[in-house]
Amino acid sequence: MSRPDHDLTQPPDLRHGGFSGVERSRRPRYVDLLPPCNHACPAGENIQAWLALVQQNRFEDAWRQIVDDNPLPATHGRVCYHPCEDLCNRMHLDSPVAIHAVERFLGDQAIAKKWSSAKPAAQSGNRILIVGAGPSGLSCAWHLARLGHEVEIRDAGPLAGGMMHFGIPKYRLPRDILDSEVQRIEDAGVRIVLEHKVEDLQTEKEAGGFDAAFVAVGAHLSQRTDIPARDAGKILDALSFLRDVEGGERPKLGRRVAVYGGGNTAMDTARTVKRLGYEPLIIYRRDRAHMPAHDFEAESAIEEGVKIHWLRTIKEIDHTTFKVEAMRINENGRPVPTGEVETLEADSLIMALGQRTDTDFLRRVPGVEFQSDGTVNVNAQMMTGCPGIFAGGDMVPAERTVTTAVGHGKKAARHINAWLKGVSYEKRAPNPLAEYDRLHVWYFTDALKKAERQIDVEARRTSFDEVIKGLGEDEALFESRRCLSCGNCFECDACLGACPDNAVIKLGAGKRYRFDYQKCTGCAVCFEQCPCGAIEMIPEPA
């Protein structure tokens, strides 16, 4: 699309009639584009839509907009790594909108005010078995129940939530928050059966009269590595350690505890070790720039007193002495040994080298195929090679996050619903992306995002109290109003007021505008005045 050659960050000079000429060569057209935040959300939330509702103080409506896609907003507002904010166009102006914080505010409001979702009036008569009560299984169950299906979740653990309950520490996700959102899913009609490990999927599916199954058992097995050890001290895996602490145990680890790994689980483990009164040190073979953990996780760990030894790999353990080799990052970004060796002292070691999924129980199911790492192959409909058996979350090849898992659950629910009806579900093709250069940001004032409050660092080091306190109502309103509404009209009347030819017709609240092409001269003033890029100039039809 051609554009007038001037600075789009400044308001246009309207004194000379904009860009009108004797004969119109272009005409304006209203468009709806895909906001970058929506595009980046693994759960497929319509973020821009619910932010717009928050701006109007319509908090319950905003929450309902979220749970159309994601049943766990209070949880996500705490544990999602918010890739939506990484693409927020506002970051080019001052700082991204704190989307996760507003989502948390809405989720907490829903719990406090006991907002609920009505059950569907009609039941389909279909029964679906879900194996795993983690984020993907809960999400799939929620969406299937809202579509009128009878859903039962079976999980081997004593509590629903999967890794959200047993792998994410309480200082990040208070258990009453998670439990409240799980209860809402049960209230929607989902039956959750705990301490029931599915060993033979086909037998259970047939015996229960289930018409389809969704398997989302998560990645609960820790990866291991061989380290030569002579009379080594205590060696644990991170997931078992976190699960034990969640269960109320306080493992005896000695004064200094080494954590081996550089992912978010390693950071959570080290911060938990600190809260138990020990001295944690992380050993990781890459540098900070190449660690898999998010940088703010490492920053929080360091603030709380965790020591991190970057570019180190453990070569040998002799009781409490760790022989580590220094590494360097080569031109391909990979760590390579230098031959330089040093020693570190630690009384115990916790391995945090990643997780794998236990999918052996699916190997007897005909048609199911696996990757070399044990993950399960699924097609575009989230179905395995066995008709009627779907899978998602950490057990399929994908990014392993709570939000990705929730997105898998929603996607699978839609395809399961279609499969049961003998049809195909086709997602509507997305609109073009609303990129920053389409916006006219002179309209917006600078407004840095509101920082979420945190408890004192000293308190963080010694308790499992929630670290981040979230936003109040005024702060949530302020933050939502920082949204630029990228690519979608929010009825600001800029085009209406700017048109020198009265060619813009307002259609009423919520109905936006239309152009009267009998009056329009193609001057492009409306295009220049539209702050959110919801108008484009197209060639005049021949």
What does the pLDDT look like over 165-217, one tens digit per residue?
999 999 999 999 999 999 999 999 999 999 999 999 999 999 999 999 999 99
Instruction: Mark whether 281 and 325 lie in a shared domain.
Output: yes
Residue 365 and residue 336 share a domain: no
234 plus 331 within the same structural domain: yes
Distance CA 235, CA 299 (A): 26
Residues 188, 215, single domain; the answer is yes
pLDDT at site 122:
82
Question: Within a domain: residue 279?
Answer: yes
* Domain that residue 377 falls in: 127-220+357-421
25 falls within a domain: yes
| 114-147 burial code (b ≥16 CB/10 A, e <16) | ebebeeeeeebebbbbbbbbbbbbbbbbbbbbbb
Residue partners of 157: CB distance under 8 A and separation at least 6: 133, 165, 166, 194, 195
Is residue 92 located within the same domain as residue 173? no
Please tell me the distance from the alpha carbon of residue 59 to that of residue 55, in angstroms, as a whole number.
Answer: 9
DSSP code per residue over 168-179: S-TTTS-HHHHH
- Can you give the length of the chain in residues? 542
Are 257 and 348 found together in one domain? yes
Q: Who's near 530: CB < 8 A, 6+ residues apart? A: 440, 489, 494, 495
Asked if 303 and 378 sit in the same domain, the reply is: no
Asked whether residue 122 is domain-assigned, the answer is no
Residue ending a domain, choose from 353, 381, 408: 353
In a domain, 313, yes or no: yes
Q: Of 299, 325, 353, which residue constitutes the final position of a domain?
A: 353
Residue 6: the pLDDT is 38
> For residue 440, is it within any domain?
no
Kindly provide the b/e burial profile for residues 474-491, where b requires at least 16 CB atoms within 10 angstroms of the residue's own CB.
Answer: ebbbbbbebbbbbbbbeb
pLDDT in tens, 243-264: 999 988 888 999 999 999 999 9
Coil, strand, or helix at residue 377? coil
**334 with 276, same domain?**
yes
Kind and range of the H or E element at 156? none
pTM over 0.85: yes
What CATH number should be reported for the domain holding residue 19? 3.30.70.20
C-alpha neighbours within 13 Å on the C-beta side of residue 488: 19
What is the per-residue pLDDT for 20? Answer: 43
Q: Which residues are 329's β-sheet partners? A: 335
Cα distance between residue 313 and residue 85, in whole Å: 33
- 163, part of any domain: yes
Identify whether the C-beta of residue 239 lies closer than 8 Å to the C-beta of residue 261: no
Given this model, what pLDDT does residue 230 score? 61
**Number of separate helices (H) and strands (E) present in the chain:** 18, 22
134 neighbors 405 (Cβ within 8 angstroms):
yes
What is the per-residue pLDDT for 413?
98
Alpha carbon distance 94, 481 (integer Å): 14
Same domain? 211 vs 302: no
Predicted pLDDT of residue 17: 38
Residues 240, 320, single domain; the answer is yes
Q: Are residues 12 and 28 in the same domain?
A: yes
* End position of a domain, from candidates 377, 402, 421: 421
Mind listing the pLDDT tens digit of every residue in the chain (542 residues)? 333 333 444 444 433 334 444 578 999 999 999 999 999 999 999 999 999 999 999 999 999 999 999 999 999 999 999 999 999 999 999 999 999 999 999 999 999 999 998 778 789 999 999 999 999 999 999 999 999 999 999 999 999 999 999 999 999 999 999 999 999 999 999 999 999 999 999 999 999 999 999 999 988 777 777 787 766 678 899 999 999 999 888 889 999 999 999 999 999 999 999 999 999 999 999 999 999 999 999 999 999 999 999 999 999 998 899 999 999 999 988 999 999 999 999 999 999 998 888 888 898 899 999 998 889 999 999 999 999 999 999 999 999 999 999 999 999 999 999 999 999 999 999 999 999 999 998 888 777 777 788 899 999 999 999 999 999 999 999 999 999 999 999 999 999 999 999 999 999 999 999 999 999 999 999 999 999 999 999 999 87
What pLDDT does 534 receive?
97
Q: Are residues 199 and 253 in the same domain?
A: no
CATH code where residue 101 lies: 1.10.1060.10
Roughly how many angstroms between the first and final C-alpha of the chain, as a whole number? 17
Q: How many domains does the chain have?
A: 4
Tell me whether residue 150 is in a domain.
Answer: yes
The answer to whether residue 529 is domain-embedded is: yes
Supply the CATH number for residue 403's domain: 3.50.50.60
- Tell me the helix, strand and coil percentages in the chain, rounded to 5: 35, 20, 50
